[in-house]
């Protein structure tokens, strides 16, 4: 009887939906007026219950001629699933009793009956990968070492090491690069695995389109059959409730099934705006790795590695100049290098410091405008509870001298002002005073962890 109903439903919903949602159903028990079925995840239970339950009941009535109650329970396939057979309801297996009390989902299984989707479907929703964004091409430094290590771990691990991996950091700092690198690596080692990478915007677009064409079913199927799902720039779903809801379901379904999920955003999970609390907390369950703003050393390393791959000779002086001046992010740094090279190639002249300054004058100005010494002084004064005027004053009491030194240090780090320029902004002090301040703060940072964190925090606040 059940087979008849199921067969009917199959022709109704189509083959793809049948494979994703109905085939995994296993009939546990039932009689003429009651059936109980099991699905592997909670998400599937909700989905089947809200989308097919009514139809099952209607078809049953139509086919068999009696009304029927349908119950759907979650049963992990790692537990023995009783053979589908119509048995007495009272003979239900032991494991079900626990399930009925709605205990947490049982141990995750990796061998769920999820069928492969059509290759064309995957193509349709996958964002393309940049072949240059590999681990080999990623320069590692202090600001990104945690994110890099986590990404490698996810790419190389045979079992899911943490779920989700949440990467966050400001624009142009390498989040997308790392995600593509993971995808490349997994595809190389496991060509059979389904790896999907796409931006949250694209996810949203696909979802909205699916809604419009009433094809949400195949949309869901495509995502639910992947081994690794990566969603880039997830902050874009903030404030979009329907997309968020859908994303949340997809996310839960995959994590429930022990499939690797990788998310990136410009903020930490808890700082995401317009995102539901339950979602924020869920996003932070795995490993959260942040990418910090670049340091001079990292910028230098990146420029050197990129310059090596160019046909044009870039003098070391120019590389140092760029590492010093273009502090905003790595994308701009690369852009700057490309512009210099393009210019040199075009006019047929070699790259020099002069041409660099000329070609990049707008970019250099923009990088200067990012944070001003005045802003630094204000923030630091606020932070240490001293007056802004103390930044310029001659007072030498430790309580004001230390914050002043910190402000000088940050001015050196975050702006492209020279030492004498900085000195002038601090009540006309000498450049050696500024140099001394920078040294002092560096020393303290190296010996006092709490102090180092404090400075780091200030620096991040100023950068944003």
Residues that bind ligand ADP (CB under 6 A): 133, 137-139, 144, 169, 171-177, 302, 330-331, 334
Find the shortest distance in angstroms from Cβ 266 to ligand ADP.
Answer: 8
Supply angle C-alpha 27, 33, 36, rounded to 5: 25
- Residue 461 binds which of Mg ion, ligand ADP, none (CB < 5-8 A, kind-dependent): none
Strand partners, 71: 36
- Residue 323 binds which of Mg ion, ligand ADP, none (CB < 5-8 A, kind-dependent): none
The answer for residues whose C-beta is within 8 angstroms of residue 336's C-beta and 6 or more apart is 322, 326, 360, 363
**C-beta of 137 vs 268, nearer to ligand ADP:** 137
Burial zone of 188 (CB within 10 Å; 0-12 exposed, 13-18 middle, 19+ buried): exposed
Find the shortest distance in angstroms from Cβ 302 to ligand ADP.
Answer: 5
**C-beta of 75 vs 289, nearer to ligand ADP:** 289
**Distance (Å, whole) CA 417 – CA 112:** 59
Find the shortest distance in angstroms from Cβ 60 to ligand ADP.
Answer: 51
**C-beta of 167 vs 410, nearer to Mg ion:** 167
- Residue 222 binds which of ligand ADP, Mg ion, none (CB < 5-8 A, kind-dependent): none
- Residue 30 binds which of Mg ion, ligand ADP, none (CB < 5-8 A, kind-dependent): none
Find the shortest distance in angstroms from Cβ 384 to ligand ADP.
Answer: 32
**C-beta of 117 vs 182, nearer to ligand ADP:** 182
- Residue 331 binds which of Mg ion, ligand ADP, none (CB < 5-8 A, kind-dependent): ligand ADP
Strand partners, 232: 199
Find the shortest distance in angstroms from Cβ 121 to Mg ion.
Answer: 24
- Residue 95 binds which of Mg ion, ligand ADP, none (CB < 5-8 A, kind-dependent): none
Asked if 43 contacts 37 with a C-beta cutoff of 8 angstroms, the reply is no
DSSP state of 272: -
Find the shortest distance in angstroms from Cβ 175 to Mg ion.
Answer: 5
Element holding 248 (H helix, E strand): helix 241-256
**C-beta of 267 vs 378, nearer to ligand ADP:** 267
Find the shortest distance in angstroms from Cβ 180 to ligand ADP.
Answer: 8
Q: List the one residue from 41, 176, 294, 367 that touches Mg ion (CB under 5 A).
A: 176
Region of residue 108 (phi > 0: left; psi between -120 and 50: alpha; otherwise: beta): beta
Asked if 109 contacts 76 with a C-beta cutoff of 8 angstroms, the reply is yes
**C-beta of 176 vs 411, nearer to Mg ion:** 176
379 annotated as belonging to a binding site for a ligand: no
**Contact region for Mg ion (CB under 5 A) — 31-39, 78-86, 123-131, 175-183?**
175-183
What the block records as the tokens of 240 is: 């979009």
Task: Give the CA count within 13 Å in the CB-facing half-sphere of 408.
Answer: 34
**C-beta of 99 vs 176, nearer to Mg ion:** 176
**Contact region for Mg ion (CB under 5 A) — 10-18, 144-152, 167-175, 442-450?**
167-175
Contact pattern for Mg ion over residues 214 through 253, marking x by CB under 5 A: ----------------------------------------
DSSP state of 162: S
What the block records as the tokens of 19 is: 């494979």
Burial zone of 365 (CB within 10 Å; 0-12 exposed, 13-18 middle, 19+ buried): exposed
- Residue 139 binds which of ligand ADP, Mg ion, none (CB < 5-8 A, kind-dependent): ligand ADP
**C-beta of 57 vs 137, nearer to ligand ADP:** 137
**Distance (Å, whole) CA 152 – CA 114:** 27
175 annotated as belonging to a binding site for a ligand: yes
**Distance (Å, whole) CA 279 – CA 297:** 36
- Residue 177 binds which of ligand ADP, Mg ion, none (CB < 5-8 A, kind-dependent): ligand ADP
DSSP state of 136: T
The answer for residues whose C-beta is within 8 angstroms of residue 274's C-beta and 6 or more apart is 238, 239, 240
Query: Which residue blocks in 94-215 are alpha helix, DSSP H?
Result: 94-100, 119-125, 145-156, 175-189, 200-212
What the block records as the tokens of 297 is: 């050393």
Asked if 436 contacts 444 with a C-beta cutoff of 8 angstroms, the reply is no
Find the shortest distance in angstroms from Cβ 91 to Mg ion.
Answer: 55
Binding residues for ATP: 172, 174-176
Binding residues: 172, 174-176
Binding site for Mg ion (CB under 5 A): 175-176
């Amino acid at each position: 009887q059940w087979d008849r109903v199921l067969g009917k439903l199959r022709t109704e919903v189509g083959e793809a939906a049948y494979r994703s949602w109905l085939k995994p159903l296993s009939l546990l028990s039932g009689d003429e007026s009651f059936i109980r079925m099991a699905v592997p995840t909670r998400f599937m239970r909700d989905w089947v219950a809200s989308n097919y339950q009514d139809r099952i009941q209607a078809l049953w009535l139509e086919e068999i001629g009696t009304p029927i109650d349908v119950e759907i329970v979650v049963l992990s396939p790692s537990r023995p699933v009783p053979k589908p057979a119509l048995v007495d309801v009272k003979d239900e297996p032991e494991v079900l009793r626990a399930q009925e009390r709605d205990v947490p989902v049982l141990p995750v299984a990796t061998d769920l009956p999820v069928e492969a989707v059509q290759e064309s479907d995957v193509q349709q929703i996958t964002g393309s990968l940049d072949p240059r964004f590999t681990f080999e091409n990623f320069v590692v430094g202090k600001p990104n070492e945690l994110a890099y290590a986590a990404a490698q771990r996810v790419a190389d691990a045979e079992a899911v090491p943490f779920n989700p991996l949440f990467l966050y950091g400001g624009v142009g700092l390498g989040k997308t690069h790392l995600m593509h690198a993971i995808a490349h690596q997994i595809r190389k080692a496991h060509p059979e695995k389904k790896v999907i990478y796409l931006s949250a915007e694209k996810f949203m677009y696909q979802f909205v389109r699916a809604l419009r064409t009433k094809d949400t079913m195949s949309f869901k199927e495509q995502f639910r059959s992947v081994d690794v799902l990566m969603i880039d720039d997830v902050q874009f779903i903030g404030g979009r409730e329907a997309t968020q809801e859908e994303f949340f379901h997809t996310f839960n379904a995959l994590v429930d099934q022990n499939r690797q999920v990788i998310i990136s955003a410009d903020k930490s999970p808890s700082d995401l705006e317009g995102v539901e609390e339950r979602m924020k907390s869920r996003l932070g369950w795995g490993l959260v790795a942040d990418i910090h703003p670049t340091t001079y050393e990292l910028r230098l390393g990146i420029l050197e590695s990129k310059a090596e791959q160019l046909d044009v000779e870039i003098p070391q002086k120019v590389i140092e100049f760029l590492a010093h001046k273009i502090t905003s992010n790595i994308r701009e740094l690369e852009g700057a290098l490309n512009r210099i090279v393009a210019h040199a190639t075009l006019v047929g002249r070699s790259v020099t410091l002069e041409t660099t300054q000329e070609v990049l004058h707008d970019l250099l100005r923009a990088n200067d405008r990012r944070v001003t010494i005045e802003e630094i002084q204000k923030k630091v004064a606020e932070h240490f509870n001293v007056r802004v005027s103390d930044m310029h004053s001659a007072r030498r009491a430790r309580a004001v001298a230390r914050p002043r030194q910190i402000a000088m240090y940050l001015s050196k780090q975050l702006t492209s002002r020279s030492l004498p320029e900085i000195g002038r902004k601090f009540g006309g002090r000498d450049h050696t005073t500024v140099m001394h301040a920078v040294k002092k703060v560096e020393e303290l940072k190296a010996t006092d962890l709490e102090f180092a964190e404090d400075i780091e925090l200030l620096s991040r606040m100023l950068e944003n």
